[in-house]
Structure 1
Amino acid sequence: MERRTFVGGTAAAVMAASTACGPTPPPDPAAPPAPTPKPPTPRSPSPSPSSSPHPPWPALAQDLDGTLIRPDDPDWPTARQLYNTRFDTLTPAAVVYVAHAADIGTALSFARAHDVRVAIRNGGHSYAGWSSGNGRLVIDVSRLNTVRATGDTAVTGGGAKLIDVYRTLAEKGATIPAGSCPTVGISGLALGGGHGVVSRAYGLTCDSLTRATLVTADGSELTADATEHPDLFWALRGAGNAHFGVVTELHFRTHPAPQGVSAYLSWPWARAAAVVRAWQGWGPDQPDEIWSALQLGNATDGTPTVSVTAFSLGTYGELQNAVDRLADQIGASAANVALRRRSYRESMEVYAGCAAFTSDDQCNLPGSTPGRSPQGALGRETYSARSDFFDCSLSEQGIATLLAGIASVRGGTGSIALTALGGAVNRVSPTATAFVHRRSRMLAQYIAAWRAGTSGATAESWLAETHAAMRPYASGAAYQNYTDPTLKDWRTAYYGDAATRLSKLKRAYDPTRFFTYPQGL
């Protein structure tokens, strides 16, 4: 589930057309021995870095079929932006909207020759702002946005956005498990794992990935799948973001996209402890087709709120019975209840915050650069976030600490969302992909949001204090797609026992660490 859905928190936002230690899992099969990494064969020797302090940008622009945008160009104000306004102070050197894989090779060659660091960008939703950077050449893949489906296979360009993937596949009666924020890029989501409202039924986004094509630092174009570069394919499913190359195309196994049933329930804050206690034993143990999240936040008047959002691929009656059982365990009926059946496409548009729009183009950020639309009606947001995985249910003290965090919100908006795991997510072995978080019951996302242009210091302080208070109850792992630049032992938190193997693969496929950022392998 992406951050957009969690910030809403009211029945109208979720249900109306205007929005944004249980059973032991099956034992792991014996993990196959890791193959010796086979590095790619360079197409040509890498040029030596230039000592020139002024790279010849006009020469790069001339060599591209895509578009190079620089600070003096009219489109620069939007081209330089990421989704999160926190990073508006970053000053990249240029943005190149590549037209094809050859453009990527040209841009990488230029960067090597002139000692320019690069950043890889699709949707621009990096929680740490690492799809941009001061003085960097941003390689934006938004123009590589084709989506096609045949039989049980979907092929997307590395720059396709989630809303376009959902809409195109829904026309074929198919889908892939993905997130909710419409402008998130499919490649960034899939390469870091990919949670969404059908993950318990269909697994993570990376679990449906069957092949990826990418351009490595030396300009080589590689295909990674179960037979060709299988070591790299393993790594791309959970640790692929900006570590090994620029992904240009993704192949997925698709799944049926039936009608879905959404539910929203809320209780008075006085019932919050009972809701948390009951939900954490209920959500992860539901049938695979039922996903749910517990949301703790604050109403506009500052009153703490507690609610549960659920989505099911099953019948209306099955979800109704399930939420009735939850209410029985809580010992009180919900104060607000809303259940609604919709088509799969409409359901995804509701979660995306786009259901009220009169045209598909409105479900974009505004602008004339690739990945945006002049008719775009979505806005950017200002927030910071952290995450925790929980392998067991919270103790009574853990629940009290969680609720105290919400009660202590001051300045801006603070919220905590607990997502139910289990199901298809946890039936995959922790060693099968580089996404190792396969034995947890819940994923927590802590969010601090504030008004753009104002200081977020108070909200950031709340976020740090609340996250630190919850760490003793968590597993120590963190979700790599919710990038947290404050993590000290981030290698272990993101990648666990896979970290050593990933480091070896990094040396094999990017020996000079050309692709690098503060938490780069």
Structure 2
Amino acid sequence: MKKLNLKGLTGEVVTRFSPSYEEARQEWNRAVQKFPLVILYCTNTGDVSNAIIWARKHEVQIRIRSGGHHYEGYSIGNGVIVVDLSRMDGIMLNAKEQLKVQGGVKNGQLYAFVGSLGYPFPGGTCPVGVSGYTLGGGWGFSSRYLGLGCDSLIELEIVDYTGRILTANQFVNGDLFWACRGAGGGNFGIVVSMTFALPEKVDKISFVEIYAPKADAKMQETFLNAWQYWLEDLDERMTVNASLFNSLEEGMAIYGRGFFYGSPEEAAEVMEPLLNNGEIQLFVTQLSFLEAVRAVEATYPEYERFKSTGRFVYRKYSEKEIRNIVGLISKRAEGSIYAAITVYALGGKASQINPFETAFFYRQADYIMGIQTVWTVPGFAEENTQWLKKRFPYVKSLTKGSFVNFPYSHLRHYEKEYFGWNAPRLKKVNKKYDPYNVFTFPQGINGSPRP
């Protein structure tokens, strides 16, 4: 076996002979098990540049990892170099009171920084990396009030295929800036910093939760029907998601939560139409923004094994269609401990930007509909994968396009599905900024074979 030549790499190098390799190669989704050639922990942009130059010289494919939360694990791969940015986690306010974060910052770190200063932020709902979240558009519990994550982005720095650092904003490399607001991570280079405009400070928000234990299929159908009409004139200060689920522990139930930028009394009034005449419990707590996001983050496990995806809903469903949707989770896969249909409210500020103004195309959708299955025993991966694969065609028949932040590896014509009519322009941008397809991965723009 030829000895691996690591000359030229800077930062902490981990190989399969390193004691930390097994831990270092794990993604948040433990259903993903890949074996990279090298994992490189970068501490500065020089490390990132050197990694790209080394990879090209040795003809090794690159994967980019900041939070490690990619649903399909495209931030890792077999025989690749993983450029890990998790140690590049600096955050600062610049002279213009804009927020600048390095490429490895996670939501929790960002929330702690801005929340301590009294600011909210349109970030994600779980401890993901800020850059991957933003590059894919970014849905969160502030999306209807503050816009998607990418809507606050005003500039980024990205290391290109030559190892050079490029700045992209509306005045410089504007086409790249356009593409980086919705095309997903990993396509054009390695993002090493992002600068965001901050919203106005808030004192308190209302953290909303709904819960219906033992919600049979009929109640779940009633809820989903109410949901689709409730969204029509929803106060844009409210953003929620809700899961219709079937779990090993609870059976069939409903749980939802979200943020309302107003008083608890107003929040309760807004939520009333969803409560099915009191059958669904409502809990509203007045918290600081930081307290609210921490309450959400505390519910996420350290890792999971799951298969999941999400698509965009543009119309109302008939009773029969709703019955069929709920029926998708009536039986869990073998080994599954949790199966769910989850709906994520869109509209509000997220819909007030033209679909062609940024790469995130599906702004006019009413909501995102996701489907997922979770298991704990590794041996049940195939059963759960097939469970979702069998149900996906029906979900696809009712929806338009897939959310790149909720990717699905079995998606056909994925560029069209993820990017809609923005796909042709994205291919041109990719050809310009990555002409040799250096930043390739299984569902990258311009495509590549699945490793």
2:363 maps to 438
| Compared CA separation, residues 504 and 335, structure 1 to 2 (3 A) | closer
Q: Within 2, Cα distance between the matches of 1:167 and 1:139?
A: 25
1:458 maps to 383
Post-superposition CA distance 1:368-423 (Å, at most 9, x none): xxxxxxxxxx5211001111100112222220111111213233021110111100
Q: Within 2, Cα distance between the matches of 1:497 and 1:126?
A: 24
Give the residue type in structure 2 aligned to 1:273.
E
Post-superposition CA distance 1:183-215 (Å, at most 9, x none): x11111111111000000011110100000010
Q: State which of 378, 389, 393 in structure 2 corresponds to 1:468.
A: 393
1:109 maps to 53
Deviation at 1:156, TM superposition (A): 0.3
Post-superposition CA distance 1:58-110 (Å, at most 9, x none): x234xx1x21111122221211111111123x110011111211111111111
Report 1:152-301 matches (<5 A): 152-182=97-127, 184-255=128-199, 256-267=201-212, 268-269=215-216, 270-283=218-231, 285-301=233-249
Report 1:71-110 matches (<5 A): 71-88=16-33, 90-110=34-54
What SS is found at the alignment partner of 2:378? coil
Give the residue type in structure 1 aligned to 2:110.
V
What SS is found at the alignment partner of 2:245? strand
Post-superposition CA distance 1:421-444 (Å, at most 9, x none): 100010010000000111100101
| Compared CA separation, residues 73 and 305, structure 1 to 2 (3 A) | same
What SS is found at the alignment partner of 1:174? coil
Q: Within 2, Cα distance between the matches of 1:404 and 1:500?
A: 37
Q: Within 1, Cα distance between the matches of 2:29 and 2:76?
A: 11
Deviation at 1:301, TM superposition (A): 4.4
Deviation at 1:54, TM superposition (A): 4.4
Q: State which of 74, 83, 96 in structure 2 corresponds to 1:130.
A: 74
Deviation at 1:308, TM superposition (A): 3.5
RMSD: 1.8
Q: Within 2, Cα distance between the matches of 1:95 and 1:301?
A: 38
1:8 maps to none
What SS is found at the alignment partner of 2:380? coil
| Compared CA separation, residues 113 and 211, structure 1 to 2 (3 A) | same
1:404 maps to 327
1:333 maps to 278
Give the residue type in structure 2 aligned to 1:243.
N
Post-superposition CA distance 1:332-380 (Å, at most 9, x none): 21343322111110100011016xxxxxxxx9xxxxxxxxxxxxxx521
**Contact 2:326–2:341 (Cα < 8 Å) also in 1:** no
1:310 equivalenced with 2:237 (yes/no): no
Q: Within 2, Cα distance between the matches of 1:511 and 1:283?
A: 43
**Contact 2:137–2:184 (Cα < 8 Å) also in 1:** no
**Contact 1:381–1:452 (Cα < 8 Å) also in 2:** no
Deviation at 1:326, TM superposition (A): 3.2
Q: Within 1, Cα distance between the matches of 2:249 and 2:384?
A: 17
**Contact 1:149–1:172 (Cα < 8 Å) also in 2:** no
What SS is found at the alignment partner of 2:82? strand
Q: State which of 93, 97, 106 in structure 2 corresponds to 1:149.
A: 93
**Contact 1:393–1:441 (Cα < 8 Å) also in 2:** no
Q: Within 2, Cα distance between the matches of 1:174 and 1:409?
A: 41
| Compared CA separation, residues 467 and 221, structure 1 to 2 (3 A) | same
- TM superposition score normalised by structure 1: 0.81
**Contact 1:261–1:319 (Cα < 8 Å) also in 2:** yes
Q: State which of 308, 326, 339 in structure 2 corresponds to 1:385.
A: 308
1:501 equivalenced with 2:425 (yes/no): yes
1:56 equivalenced with 2:5 (yes/no): yes
Give the residue type in structure 1 aligned to 2:144.
R
Deviation at 1:280, TM superposition (A): 1.4
Deviation at 1:218, TM superposition (A): 0.8
Q: Within 2, Cα distance between the matches of 1:506 and 1:251?
A: 22
- TM superposition score normalised by structure 2: 0.93
Give the residue type in structure 1 aligned to 2:52.
L
Deviation at 1:484, TM superposition (A): 0.9
Post-superposition CA distance 1:433-474 (Å, at most 9, x none): 000111100101111110142312332222222222222221
What SS is found at the alignment partner of 1:385? strand
> How many percent of aligned residue pairs carry the same amino acid?
28
Q: State which of 464, 482, 489 in structure 1 corresponds to 2:406.
A: 482
Q: Within 1, Cα distance between the matches of 2:232 and 2:296?
A: 21
**Contact 1:414–1:459 (Cα < 8 Å) also in 2:** no
**Contact 2:123–2:149 (Cα < 8 Å) also in 1:** yes
Q: Within 2, Cα distance between the matches of 1:189 and 1:258?
A: 25
Q: Within 1, Cα distance between the matches of 2:428 and 2:123?
A: 29
Deviation at 1:284, TM superposition (A): 5.2
